[in-house]
Amino acid sequence: MEIRLQTPVKGSDVKKLKIGDEVLISGTLFTARDMAHKFLIEENFEKINHGIIYHCGPIVKKDNGRYKIISAGPTTSARMNIYMPELIKKYDIPLVIGKGGMDSLTQKALIKYNAVYLTAIGGTGALCSSSIVRVKNVYKPEFGDTEAIWELEVRNFPAIVAMDSHGNSIYDKVKANSKKKLADILGPI
């Protein structure tokens, strides 16, 4: 059974989320990749306060002066590891959506600031964009379409809780298990 979340997301709802929960998000997301993270750390951008960060560099088309998101799946979150703890703290970010997981410093920040990391299914650009209703705004367009911050209205955007605010991570479990399997196959190293 999916959990429906509406932005602004309440702290009490974030706390309830557990790894493996399937979530449908409605409301507003902000896309951010490498350049946007650096910008958000170095400058103040109040618009994003308490907003949801989506690690994504979409394909965008401009039709009759209006932006349309063509394909917009998640990008690899690990590239943003160095910025994430500070960003979660600075802007009080409740949810971060991406793919592939994040490092232990981010996990600590999720616990400390009551936030959750969710994964969208990597590669599903067509599926993810089908739940984007419209582009509300674009910031830092000079970064280019891929790296700009797109403020998106979404309806039932699908994601899975992969790292929760209680210190649990799907990736840690999978990694520990695969490490054991690797040792079984290779013999003691």
CB 164 within 8 A of CB 110: yes
Helices (H) and strands (E) in the chain, counts: 6, 9
DSSP state of 20: T
Q: Return the amino acid letter for 37.
A: H
Which residue has tokens 């951010």? 32
143, 122 in Cβ contact below 8 A? no
Kindly list the distances between the CA atom of residue 178 and the CA atoms of 3, 92, 183, in Å, as whole numbers in the listed order. 29, 34, 9
Which of 51, 73, 85, 94 touches other proteins (CB under 8 A)? Answer: 73
Shorter beta-carbon distance to other proteins: residue 58 or 85:
58
How many residues form the binding site for other proteins (CB under 8 A)?
Answer: 50
Residue from 40, 48, 99, 107 in contact with other proteins (CB under 8 A): 99
User: Mask: binding to other proteins, 108-137, rule CB under 8 A, as x and -?
Assistant: -----------x-xxxxxxx-xx-------
Does position 44 interact with other proteins (CB under 8 A)? The reply is no
- Written as six digits, the tokens of 107 are 């996990």
Is 37 marked active-site? yes
Chain residues in the site for other proteins (CB under 8 A): 20, 22, 35, 56-59, 61, 70-73, 75-76, 78, 99-101, 119, 121-127, 129-130, 143-147, 158, 160, 162, 170-171, 173-175, 177-179, 181-182, 185-187, 189
- Active-site positions? 37
